[in-house]
Chain A
Amino acid sequence: MTLKSKRLIAVVIFIAISSASASLLLAKSKPKKSVAQMDDSQRALHALNRLTFGPRPGDIDKVKAIGVDKWIDQQLSPDKIDDSALQSRLEPFRTLRMDSRTLVQNFPPPQVIKAVADGRLRMPSDPKERAIYEAQLENYKNRAERKAQNDNAAATKSDDGNMANDMAPEAMDRRAERREARMNANSDADALLQKSPQDRFNAVLKMPADERRIMVQGFQPEEREKLLQGMSAEQREQLQALANPQGVITNELVQSKLIRAIYSERQLDEVMTDFWFNHFNVFVQKGADRVLTTSYERDAIRPHALGKFKDLLMATATHPAMLFYLDNFQSVGPNSIAAQRGGGRGANLANNRNQRRETFFQRIGLAPQPRRQRPQQQRNPNNMDPNAAPKPQRGVNENYARELMELHTLGVDGGYTQQDIIEVAKVLTGWTIKQPQLGGSFEFNDKLHEPGEKHILGQKINEDGEKEGKKVLEMLAKHPSTAKFISRKLAMRFVSDTPPQSLIDSMSATYLKSDGDIKEVLRTMFKSPEFWSPESYRAKVKTPLEFVVSAVRITGSDVSNAQPLAQTLQRLGMPLYGMQPPTGYSMKADAWVNSAALLNRMNFGLALASGKLRGISVNKDLLMKDSMPPADADAAVAVISNAILAGDISQQTRDTIRKQLDDPTLNQRNVTDPMKQLGVIAGLVLGSPEFQRR
């Protein structure tokens, strides 16, 4: 203890000295670079560019009126900021408020459907829920049928080497049937769209699953929208779930993230929630995480986004989404009771899995299904070395333990070894999930836990069950390497791709002093000379998310459907919740500046500004402020470029845009009207090099 506090003092002193010398250095470098200090407007813009997803029309004046420092303080206390407008925008996304178990029930994953198909699970009695299950059952059977067909085709192919696309006669009949159904469905569709929302809902629900699917597939996007028009959020969800129940959950998650980023008044809280989700990344498309990610962000990340790092760490470590994503729920101590049971050191995995299955289905009121036995010898007859034939062994899985230290806390150079990884993995054996496929919860299972003492980073951890893990997480949270690693990453998000060491040092000092208080670390950064240095101004290239959201915000756009934005992010290489590796997305320019991405950014800018994105409309009045309608093209270029880039636009870019307006192809398309030209101008500004930075 005394040693630690001495070290702490030493660190503080060191940092005090180094930050003093850093500001000296900074002072010296200034005249050389001849960059002017930011003026008041630039300070406001800089703060907005860093603490938010980009300014909206009028934001700079608002921040100036409040005072930049005071506004930052406000952002650091999000609870005191009224965000009711956002809340009403989020109202339709019902899944955001459901727990994982309810999500599974209402939007059944394939496992549940399979259980119903196999007769292990009863159909729900509620007719609305029942329709969803029936539709999925139909899909499930179709898939099985297709698979059988493919297998047949493959067999045919290997028999005679002929690629003949032979199809079983029954399948041909079915196909013809479907074609007919499709034609009928199309003629019925018009009649359907004329009905009242309630009648429409009932009619669709009553349709046979196959017919409904065919009808919806035949719809144009506008018709699909028409179909859902006027229905309640719940009805819309239910109809969407007929096609793809899991898709409802991820769609609402993705859309709500964009809606929050665009409209939340608690912008810093939103930026930090995004930052930490990315730091503690999980991949929404991995199995149970399709259901669990909603709760992960809501319950583990968001509440601690500006809280203590150790709480955040603990919340992520114990959340089923993380336990599933990085496989810790499967990790078993090789000397644990579970591993010992069923014969010596190597427990029989198959048996254990069977046991787990039984519990899994018993708990939801299912008769245990007799599992197909797949003993080793049967599965691989005569193939294996007969002398070998060892029992499969349950053991530790290092995945989470490694990423916990490399990516979540110490950093890859944080001073741990492969042996530390193994020991941490042992400590965390037994940290598992109760019923993962049913939206399960954290559970410490003592039977899976590796007994004995462990040694981590030179410290002895006595055998103490679940408490071992808690102790290790706390140890990691307060480690100086973690302080440095987290500080650097924050500085990379808020200051520059290569933040000055002096800044990292002062932030780390705050981190250690405040027991990892994220808010205090941020405060230190926002008050630092490095944050306000002219070199930081517009120094960051926007990530795709920052680019897309900032474009929507600055154009004062109204978003009734965020799906086109989500698709843009996919094209830009940043699908939301879609990063498979645990590293999360890069925050550095070189990850995002390339040919494909630049073209996609330009195309997005043009599409947004010219109103080509369904469900998103630019508010030209807001964009033009008091200059509506613009006197002429020159005025329009000046007003829009100033509105979007707050004056930070080069003469060349402005001239280029002005010249573009004389392009004869635009004139042929009757875009001489200044109002229509606004779209072209705004699109070009959004795609300009200047707008790619914040």
Chain B
Amino acid sequence: MALTRRVFLKNSALAVVGTTAIPSFLTRAAFADVNSTGKKRMVVLFQRGAADGLNIVVPHGEPTYYQMRPTIAIPRASVIDLDGLFGLHPSMAAFKPLWDSKQLAIVHASGSPDNTRSHFDAQDYMESGTPGVKSTEDGWLNRALQKEWEKQSPFRAVALGTALPRTLAGPNPAVAISNINEFGVGGRNAGPAAGGLSNSFESMYAQSVDSVLHGTGQETFEAVKMLKSADPAKYTPAANANYPRGRFGDSLKQVAQLLKADLGVEVAFADIGGWDHHVNEGSTQGQIANLTREFSQAIAAFWTDIGNLGGETVLVTMSEFGRTARENGSRGTDHGHANVMFVLGGPVKGGKVYGRWPGLDSRHLYEGRDLEVTTDFRTVLSEGLSRHMGNSQLASVFPGFRASGKDFLGLIG
């Protein structure tokens, strides 16, 4: 069977919703309470290409780090020290206030236990939430949406970008949006006929027997209508939210708009590529510096932008695997194992680097070359889902993996 979320049973239920039916968001809108509290949200960010965690949260207290990375290490004096052992890459200064205010936590030496060093497989495993199991059809973030979906917003699960990520594949509806200002028939400059044409397309897709296209069409038009009535474009970024230019900043800016427009977003996903630095990775300047700057500034701007909503929001970052502890022969790093995760949020007990640090001593390196994984990424996500989102079905989110209260790191609470 094709790996598609449309194979699930929901299609039969959707088929009864025609163009004339009252969209569920309208009935819901009556009860909507803008910027209300108590709506828990999770924002999931993926650094594609295997970010070099050792140059992002730098173990500057370890001499071995400098021995292993003669040209690309971040000099001690440049590191933004956090706790004497670890420090942030200097271009991530935007994270420091979040750390100081104890909203930002770090989990080092975290990642997937699977030993693959294939980008594709490792991303797949991290997004499906089942390392080593290729047959999983849906993603963990979709499975984390456990409640009955009919009553939920079409924006309950949203991904910014031109594709729906693997992690949101599954039985629950999820929408992909590349640009909220163009999200509709007719695009940005929709003419007077756009409404009618939109209805026609909606009708075609609603009645289609093509299960793949039918389901997506349905979700799309519900989302289009809801977005139109909420008009998130009026929620411009807060004055001091300085998003960097580029796709990632744009993505987060739009996530913030969706949150502020109170569209019922429960989980949001965005990604940032370009981390595969095999050659000339750079140190305090260069590729890694530019990318970490964009990454941290966008997240910090997002955090400023959503203001009070931060109290109900947890943001978590991940990357498919880390990179070799030693730099390679071309001033870069090759595919490695453990990495670093950031967890940011109102309920987060930040200002601390969590996880057991295995060290960079050769004896402790995974397969003699990479940082060892001491915290399974699913443990971190489980804690977020359980303690923050109130999800009690972790066994179905991460089948075959058990992380209970006693395994949690105490990140949230």
- Seen from chain A, the residues whose Cβ lies within 8 Å of a Cβ on chain B are 326-327, 330-332, 334, 339, 349, 376, 380, 382-385, 387-399, 402, 406-407, 412, 418, 496-498, 541, 571-573, 580-583, 588-600, 602-603, 606, 650, 652-653, 656-657, 659-660, 663, 665-666, 668-669, 671, 680, 683-684, 687-690, 692-693
Contacts and interface: CB of A to CB of B under 8 A. Distances in A.
A497 B6 CA distance: 14
Contact of B192 (A349, A389, A669, A687): A669
11 contacts: A392-B70, A397-B328, A418-B117, A418-B367, A580-B274, A581-B120, A593-B212, A594-B175, A595-B223, A652-B203, A687-B201
B183 to A, nearest CB: 6
Nearest to B176: A594
B308 interface: no
B208 A689 contact: yes
B62 to A, nearest CB: 9
Contact of A665 (B193, B217, B223): B193
Given A498-B1, A595-B223, A388 B66 contact: yes
Contacts of B118: 402, 406, 412
Given A383-B78, A384-B75, A596 B176 contact: yes
Contacts of A498: 1-2
B279 A330 contact: yes
B5 A391 contact: no
Contacts of B212: 541, 589, 593
Interface residues of B, number: 80
Contact of B208 (A339, A594, A652): A652
A660 B19 CA distance: 13
A315 to B, nearest CB: 23
B2 A398 contact: no
B196 A581 contact: no
B276 A394 contact: no
B70 A692 contact: no
B387 interface: no
B196 A598 contact: no
Interface of B: 1-6, 48-49, 63, 66-67, 70-71, 73, 75-78, 116-121, 159, 161-164, 169, 175-179, 182-187, 191-193, 195-197, 199-201, 203-205, 207-210, 212-214, 216-217, 219-220, 223-224, 273-274, 276, 278-279, 327-332, 334-335, 367
B185 A599 contact: yes
Contacts of B169: 590
Nearest to A497: B2
B197 A385 contact: no
A384 B77 CA distance: 9
Given A588-B3, A602-B197, A692-B213, 7 more contacts: A327-B332, A589-B2, A598-B213, A598-B220, A599-B224, A689-B205, A689-B214
List of 9 A-B pairs having minimum Cβ-Cβ separation, nearest first:
A573-B162, A395-B329, A383-B75, A330-B330, A594-B176, A663-B196, A594-B164, A595-B220, A652-B207
B365 to A, nearest CB: 13
B330 A388 contact: no
Given A580-B274, A590-B169, A596-B162, A383 B200 contact: no
A592 B191 CA distance: 27
A399 B278 contact: yes
A594 B204 contact: no
A652 B274 contact: no
Contacts of B176: 594-597
A388 B63 contact: yes
A321 B241 CA distance: 40
User: Which of A496, A595, A665, A693 has the largest number of chain B CB atoms within 10 A?
Assistant: A595
User: Interface SS of chain B: helix, strand, loop or mixed?
Assistant: loop
Contacts of B49: 581
A598 B189 CA distance: 17
A572 B193 contact: no
Contacts of A669: 191-193
Contacts of A396: 328-329
Contacts of B73: 384
A385 B59 CA distance: 13
Contacts of A496: 2
Contact of B217 (A402, A583, A680, A689): A689
A412 B75 contact: no
A663 B70 contact: no
Contacts of B223: 595
Given A590-B4, A595-B176, A581 B220 contact: no
A270 B334 CA distance: 35
A591 to B, nearest CB: 6
Contacts of A600: 162, 178
Given A384-B66, A390-B67, A572-B162, A602 B201 contact: yes
A596 B178 contact: yes
B204 A688 contact: yes
Contact of A660 (B1, B200, B332): B200
A389 B63 CA distance: 10
A603 B186 contact: yes
User: Which of B48, B49, B187 has the largest number of chain A CB atoms within 10 A?
Assistant: B187
B388 to A, nearest CB: 27
Contacts of A671: 193
Contact of B2 (A327, A588, A693): A588
Contact of A573 (B63, B163, B201, B327): B163
Contacts of B328: 395-398
Nearest to B201: A602
A592 B169 CA distance: 12
B334 A599 contact: no
Contacts of A330: 279, 329-330
B330 A327 contact: yes
Contacts of B4: 589-590, 593
A376 B72 CA distance: 10
Nearest to B164: A594
A656 B203 contact: yes
A687 to B, nearest CB: 6
B334 A397 contact: yes
A387 B63 CA distance: 9
B71 A596 contact: no
A573 B273 CA distance: 14
Contacts of B164: 590, 593-595
B200 A659 contact: yes
A665 B201 contact: no
Contacts of B175: 594-596
A334 B329 contact: yes
A397 B119 contact: no
Nearest to A383: B75
Given A349-B331, A385-B67, A684-B201, A599 B184 contact: yes
